[in-house]
Structure 1
């Protein structure tokens, strides 16, 4: 197994079908290890509501069934966003994360966290956006100057906001950020507590369909929004077979979602707070659900994100993204 070595220690502050239908075919992956290992008897998985594939696996119990055959149990832990997920991974409260925005590992690396990239969902730039109220006088990103904007710290939407502001000749100093979780951001947006809200799916589609919000800017041309799955160095080294099984399950579920969008929406709607099916369909259409191994060619974009955060003095130091620990998949 080839691992680029980067040891992190980290402390960040702050804080998902029906039973076994026809399984979609998806290519299997194998680790580079000569022999698969099931050293752990339990795998603790952290996820958030936007973690579509993991949420579906949790709902169906498919992953538990597969790993139970190997005498491995699964425990599930829900988080509000990616940053607390990474924190929990670093302190050893969970073993693997579901997908988090590309910004999350950057913040973690800047804080010298213990993490390994083990798989990704390829870019989905339209799955995040800057929303404004239907009757807003804001017409361009430049009009955000001096405005109060709801954004989740370290989320992909955080980088989208930076990139959009920079393109408009502004910086973070030109706006008033309101650091809010997705749920709190939605509440503030609904009640007029903020002038704009930067968020991700399914909140973007919920905002445009339910609240009739307008999209001021999406990530297209600004932020690629690749979503990464993370684990710890030691867990990756000792449990390649568990990671292998998780990746295969993710690939199968991703294929099912893309081939059965209506069925997927019916399952997800109640899990996402009884959202209208229309919202879930729209949200899923904006996500790639293309599960692939992480490669060094992904790192220049990570470096770009890190440099942007450093320039805005949002992380204490820049990073060397190409030195990130990457778990190899064949």
Structure 2
């Protein structure tokens, strides 16, 4: 059967279509990228398109570095964590699900920093003219989702809240590019996805939110380091400084949403309106939080869920994959994210 192509306005840049929050991913596309800073010591940092490097540069946090940062860009979290495991990268940023799968694979990784934001961008979308009004009506319907992604867990949790299980729906495991085409051509009844895809569909008026992940999933994102780097005194000190710069940059995003949206749009190819909507809905809300016991318990619940579904081959003890040395005086991971207010 031929598939009608999605409208051009809905086709996100390739870099973002590949950059799933987890699950099956494209191959590592680390580029060896640019190098910032000065001095003989180098910190190897893994990044994703429109990620840490872009926000640090926009916020002016790459100035006065007394060490070098060598940037490597990856298509998504899983290959980035593979590089961390291989000691090719010292530290890098990912969403809440890739560390669970890396832990399940026995990778040598340590979660060293966390941010807590709203999960309003984690949504189950339905076409604008869909007859579905609430999640309970998803029973028997077809839903597209990227396998093993943060959206996959959000789908499971949202169905559970509605009294349903994955067995009650027809799950279509599709990566974002194929899921977008299936959604806009009516091949599926719903799509479980994350921002900026959520904002893209809403801005194009091609769909609406049936339910979102706020209060259902943990809304966490992480910086993950190689244990070998943490054992190196110089690298550990550089990682501490790097994390402090990231925390300040996130504060800058909250107070400068339009400026960050312009940078993000230019860096990724997103339309400015979509980038700004995503920043206001999701990105600006994030606050730096401690890597603590509630965080570990929340990630453990995700791991146990995927183990139960046999998507992770063995029991995971997530507590063995964190390092709390950089918590300082940060608020607990359960702290309420910021609410963006229009100026």
Partner of 1:29: none
Contact 1:156 1:225 in 2 (8 A): no
Higher RCO, 1 vs 2 (CA within 8 Å, ≥6 residues apart): 1
Paired residue for 2:286?
A: 289
Shift of 1:258: 0.8
Residues 173-182 or 259-268, more deviating: 173-182
**Residue 221 (structure 1) aligned with residue 215 (structure 2):** yes
Separation (CA, whole Å) in 1 of partners of 2:325 and 2:40: 19
2:47 matches 1:46: yes
After superposition, the Cα gap between the structure-2 partners of 1:301 and 1:73, relative to the gap in structure 1 and judged at 3 Å, is: closer
- Which of 14, 19, 26 is matched with 2:25 structurally? 14
SS of match in other structure, 1:197: strand
In the alignment, is the contact (CA less than 8 A) between 1:250 and 1:291 conserved in 2?
Answer: no
Q: Residue 54 of structure 2 contacts residue 263 of structure 2 at CA under 8 Å; is this kept in 1?
A: no
- Separation in 1 of the partners of 2:294 and 2:164? 29
Residue 78 (str. 1) matches residue 68 (str. 2):
no
TM-score by length of 2: 0.76
Of 230-239 and 39-48, deviating more is: 39-48
What residue is the counterpart of 1:185 in the other structure? 179
- 2:120 is paired with a residue of what secondary structure? helix
2: CA distance between counterparts of 1:186 and 1:58?
Answer: 31
1:111 and 2:105 aligned: yes
Whole-Å separation in 2 of the counterparts to 1:85 and 1:232: 11
CA distance in structure 2 between the aligned counterparts of 1:282 and 1:301, rounded to whole angstroms:
28
Once the two structures are superposed, the pairs formed by residues 1-330 of structure 1 within 5 Å of their partners are: 14-15=25-26, 41-49=42-50, 51=51, 53-57=52-56, 62-63=61-62, 65-67=63-65, 69-70=66-67, 72-79=68-75, 81-98=76-93, 100-238=94-232, 239-277=235-273, 279-287=274-282, 288-329=285-326, 330=328
1:233 positional shift = 0.7
Q: Is the 8 A contact 1:101 1:155 kept in 2?
A: no
Is the Cα contact below 8 Å between 1:82 and 1:155 reproduced in 2?
A: no
Question: Which residue in the other structure is 1:32 paired with?
Answer: none
1:152-206 C-alpha deviation (Å, 9 max, x unpaired) = 2332211100111122232223333333333443233223332211111111111
**In 2 relative to 1, CA 246–153 (structure 1 residues): closer, same or farther, beyond 3 Å?**
farther
Do the aligned partners of residues 246 and 156 (structure 1) sit closer, same or farther apart at CA in structure 2, a change above 3 Å counting?
A: same
1:73, 1:224 → 2: CA distance? 30
**In 1, Cα distance between equivalents of 2:269 and 2:320:** 39
RMSD across aligned positions (CA):
2.5
In the other structure, the counterpart of 2:12 is: none
- Runs of 5+ in structure 1 lacking a partner? 1-11, 16-37
Q: 1:92 to 1:182 in 2, by over 3 A?
A: farther
**1:15-42 deviations in Å (ceiling 9; x for gaps):** 3xxxxxxxxxxxxxxxxxxxxxx99524
CA distance in 1, matches of 2:301, 2:278: 26
Q: Which runs of 5+ in 2 are unaligned?
A: 1-22, 27-38, 329-343
Shift in CA distance, 235/196, structure 1 to aligned 2, threshold 3 Å: same
CA gap 1:157/1:308 in 2 versus in 1, 3 angstroms: same
CA distance in 2, matches of 1:117, 1:206: 30
